Amino acid sequence: MTYPSPNGLLDRSQPAARRDPSALPRLTHTPAATSFASHERFWGPLPNGRALVEQTRRSGLRGRGGAGFPTALKLDAVLAAAAASGRRRRRPIVVANGTEGEPASAKDRTLLEQAPHLVLDGMVEAAAAVGAGRAIVCVKADGAAVIASLEQALAERRSRDEVSLELSIVPAGYVAGEESALVNWLSSGVPAPTITPPRPADRGVEGRPTLVDNVETMANLALIGRFGADWWRGVGSGADPGSILLTISGAVAAPGVYEVGNGSPLRDALTLAGAGRTAGVLVGGYFGTWLTAEQAGRAGLGRESLARFGGSVGCGVVIVLPEHSCPLEESARVARWLSRQSAGQCGPCVNGLPAIAGAMEDLARGRDVAQAERHAHRWADMADGRGACKLPDGTARFVRSALRTFAPHLERHRLLGGPCDGLGSESVLHLPGREVSLRWG
């Protein structure tokens, strides 16, 4: 994927600390140059990280990698595990996950290209908070621009930070960026998920208590550490405070990465990107949920609002499906791709995901629609919750959502005895290998 430089809409006139707390952008509010010197002049020095845990608890920050777990609870768990080790105590390790295996997401890699020092600041703050001596940022091997950005940023900070900041380049692959797979890679060189428990907070990299958080989460920690929980909560809603980065694509005039208030109406974000008429909106990426156009008009980008439709913000991906597309064909393409992302170590992935993909392909082509729908539901139910990682669960959620949201298309395919006119058109849902130009705004 390619990403142009930040556009002129961003206000770089003054640091966030001197602006209205309810103003946006924040994470995208970076100086024109990304050198460490200009970064420090703009944002100011980092405070002592010892107060970070309580500030994070008050802020209500949740992880931005997809699961939405409360960040303060992760910090607490690492501290508790380190304290429980007693005399055998081994210093914790901090891991920033920037692997971004989701093909339709661009927020993490764009953040690492445009504001690498903000992410590294968050890692330094988190390390100070939990007593870690090492902090590792992980990115995929196929992200040349991200790697170059981080290498330059790390070189500029050498000998400036008390914690040892490191870069780990992870093999490309959807499940390689899963939390336990990342820990496994850093410990043994094998990028495959492992059964949990134990959780990384209890026994992570090299057996040490390990904090694993998404790079957007780390950047938010840098802001919370500097400006406090009250300032950070100046954006968003009471239940869903702060800002979030969304990658919006599909049938929109201006696809790109947008920073919006957490909990704000989905329709407002779609308007920002210039969304057109749609057959459906995917929220949360390929582990996410399809919404009808009517549901998208009523949904908010918050946990409670999206939960009413069986969804969540997840990794911040929003895809608008054009009205002329065949949603069953689009969903079948993604289901087949997901079936090929298995680490090959669990039956639900090795056997279940290809069976699900086959049933979805039958539905897309109108082959015995009633039976194919039964098979898709059956295999989704059998795969769900039975893998070492969440690949079967996410695939099952995505497929069930497509079957529910696009039930009228199932009936159309059944009546036609074959596919609808949208079959064979260029895929709107991004898969690896397709170049997509996005803006940062």
| CATH number for position 396 | 1.20.1440.230
**11 within a domain of the structure (yes/no):** no
Give the residue ranges of DSSP H helices in 85-176: 107-114, 116-130, 144-157
What was the pLDDT predicted at 435?
Answer: 39
> 410 near 369, Cβ under 8 Å?
yes
Cis peptide before 171 (omega within 30 of 0): no
Mean pLDDT of the chain: 86
The Cα–Cα gap between 402 and 376 comes to 11
Cα 402–432–395 angle (5° rounding)? 30
**176 within a domain of the structure (yes/no):** yes
Do 110 and 128 lie in one domain? The reply is: yes
Q: 115: exposed, middle or buried (C-beta count within 10 Å: 0-12, 13-18, 19+)?
A: buried
CB neighbours of 262 closer than 8 A, spacing ≥ 6? 235, 236, 237, 240, 241, 242, 243, 244, 301, 302, 313
**435 within a domain of the structure (yes/no):** no
Do 360 and 309 lie in one domain? The reply is: no
**134 within a domain of the structure (yes/no):** yes
Total count of domains within the chain: 3
pLDDT digits (tens, 9 = 90+) for 281-339: 999 999 899 999 999 999 999 988 998 998 899 899 999 999 888 899 999 999 998 88
What was the pLDDT predicted at 86?
Answer: 63
The Cα–Cα gap between 78 and 16 comes to 30
Domain hosting 136: range is 16-232
Do 317 and 204 lie in one domain? The reply is: no
The Cα–Cα gap between 250 and 14 comes to 34
* Average confidence (pLDDT) over 223-243: 92
The confidence band for 8, taking pLDDT boundaries of 50, 70 and 90, is very low
CATH of residue 172's domain is: 3.40.50.11540
Do 334 and 318 lie in one domain? The reply is: no
What was the pLDDT predicted at 417?
Answer: 77
Do 204 and 248 lie in one domain? The reply is: no
Do 381 and 362 lie in one domain? The reply is: yes
CB neighbours of 144 closer than 8 A, spacing ≥ 6? none
Cis peptide before 419 (omega within 30 of 0): no
Do 292 and 334 lie in one domain? The reply is: no
Neighbours of 387 (CB within 10 A): 25
pTM: 0.90
Tell me the C-alpha to C-alpha distance, in Å, between residue 316 and each of 182, 192, 249, 287, 414.
Answer: 21, 24, 11, 11, 34
**296 within a domain of the structure (yes/no):** yes
The last residue of one of the domains, among 299, 322, 345, is: 322
**402 within a domain of the structure (yes/no):** yes
Do 169 and 128 lie in one domain? The reply is: yes
Do 225 and 283 lie in one domain? The reply is: no
Do 306 and 334 lie in one domain? The reply is: no
Q: Is the pLDDT of residue 439 over 60?
A: no
CATH of residue 265's domain is: 3.10.20.600
Do 103 and 21 lie in one domain? The reply is: yes
The Cα–Cα gap between 234 and 245 comes to 16
Do 62 and 199 lie in one domain? The reply is: yes
What was the pLDDT predicted at 47?
Answer: 85
**429 within a domain of the structure (yes/no):** no
